Structure 1
Amino acid sequence: MRGLLVDHVHTVEIPLFNAYCKSCHETISYWPEFVLPYQCEPLETHEQVAVEHLEGCSIRESAAEIGYDPRTLSRWLRRIFDQAKILLGKAVSRILYLIGTEQLPLPSMTVDEVAALLFAWLHRLAEVTGFSRRRRLMGLCNLIGNGDWDLWGAPVGKARSRMDCAPAPG
């Protein structure tokens, strides 16, 4: 069981499941798409802060709205934007493959522009596929990743990256 802050005040316990791989001697945790490892807030909260920031809302305003320290939100934004820069090419390629469009060249951009572009592509994928949760686009990105890249928005912590590794057996 793990506590999840549903409204920045109240915690709900949710079950998490683990599996053990006998051949590689690894324990694997299965997380719901709306939960980030090492975080007590849902992914939707992180995405809300990122989208508001890209729409011009200050970090202090967002922090006051949800009752968090602005430094916490700054860490979230730095992590999200740094990861967006890494994920953009992979995620856009996967989105274009899923919606049947050819590959487009990506110009050099700032991290804010990269994150905004990635959100725009995810929004387009959500429209095409009928994905109804438009404030869960980071979760959609993690789902289309099929485990090929690390969770967008999640701190690495003590976990090892799954990127560029062979899939776990079993």
Structure 2
Amino acid sequence: MNLAQIGLRIRRRRREIKKTLQTVADESGLSVGFLSQVERNLTGISLSSLVNVAKSLGMPLRSLLDQPTQTEPDSHEGQRQVYSVGNSAQRYERLSSTFPGSALNATRLHYPAGYRSETVSHDGDEFVYVLSGSLQYSVAGQTYLLQAGDSLHFDAHKPHDIANVGSVEAEAIIIGTLALFDDVQAD
């Protein structure tokens, strides 16, 4: 699903349920200006921010984003579908499956050189392990420079953002408790 479709669906749903930009921004932890830009297809949005917006709008994430399913407990290099949110240059690989009661969600992220995310906060924990490149995380005003082999674990309720501060693509594995996938499988 491209960025224009995501922005249009967000705006349509927000108006349908009669919520203001301010209300959705407040409930999703984003600024009004940023959310307005997303609705007008002027900027991309991260997966975690999109989860927060979907929650505010009372809709499943799959209504805004086509994600690959992961029905088996194992996944293999070269066989996972790489996807992005809209036309974003940031790419995701789903690493984890879902099942009733599962709490962890794992993704492999590819951050192009120069990438900078919006500031977000959300439920749960977040754990980052850098595979390659240089990433700078800011968590509640504290800055962490992470290189290949470095990790960071933090309370995701705290405002945080990420930037690729290197000159090449960076990759990281992120594991968190935020429900990134809403395709719960039967036992």
TM-score range, shorter chain: under 0.3
More strand by share: 2
More helix by share: 1
TM (normalized to structure 2)? 0.23
TM (normalized to structure 1)? 0.24
Rg bigger for which structure?
A: 1
